[in-house]
Amino acid sequence: MSLRLGDVAPDFEADTTKGQIHFHQWLGDSWGLLFSHPADFTPVCTTELGRTALLKGEFEKRNVKVIAVSVDDLESHNRWVPDINEVNDTDVNFPIIADGDRTVATLYDMIHPNASEKATVRSVFVIGPDKKIKLTLTYPASTGRNFNEILRVIDSLQLTANYQVATPADWKDGEDVIVVPAVSTEDAQKKFTKGLTIVKPYLRYTPQPNK
């Protein structure tokens, strides 16, 4: 059975380009972004891992630890990293898991037989500090991920975890948010002191509370 939102992210030990890790211990109190790529020395993956490295400051600002995985071995990863650095003018600053025995790929259901019998699809898992899965995304091997969207979702997840709000379609950090239905309008007017815009009794906007 595939993992669902709210499930505890499976723990594992693995060799990576930054040494051996025990996943839950490595995460600590941070948020985590675990994402798979189909294979080393492939064009789309080279752009994705480079983009992730370039966004290091954005992930750190959000207290997110990033880790990648593929079913290639450590030697292959280490030979590929210089290409990623050269092509993207960056430095791969996060671990890449060597998953030759497919332990992690199997735990996280990253191999879809209809797509490939051996390679992982482009899976994304955002994991909270409670080690529970907050987001899953699956892309086909031919489509590179939008990392601005991943950052946007992390912003929403972190905001809505701490306040009784939800984020509307196409929301970006700093824009108005929606008060959740569980909060009455009377209580919302007291709670959200920046103001309340009532569009419908069930649709009420307020400025982002942590800005």
Catalytic residue list contains 26: no
Instruction: State the number of CA atoms in the 13 A half-sphere of 58 facing the CB.
Output: 16
123 and 110 in contact (C-beta within 8 Å)? yes
Task: Give the other-Cβ count within 10 Å of 125's Cβ.
Answer: 21
Instruction: Indicate which residue of 45, 68, 105, 111 is catalytic.
Output: 45
Give, to the nearest 10 degrees, the angle between helix 74-88 and helix 43-54: 70
Instruction: State the number of CA atoms in the 13 A half-sphere of 65 facing the CB.
Output: 18
Amino acid of residue 146: N
What is the 8-class DSSP label of residue 132? Answer: B
* Dihedral of the alpha carbons of 174, 176, 182, 185, in degrees to the nearest 10: 140
Active site residues: 45
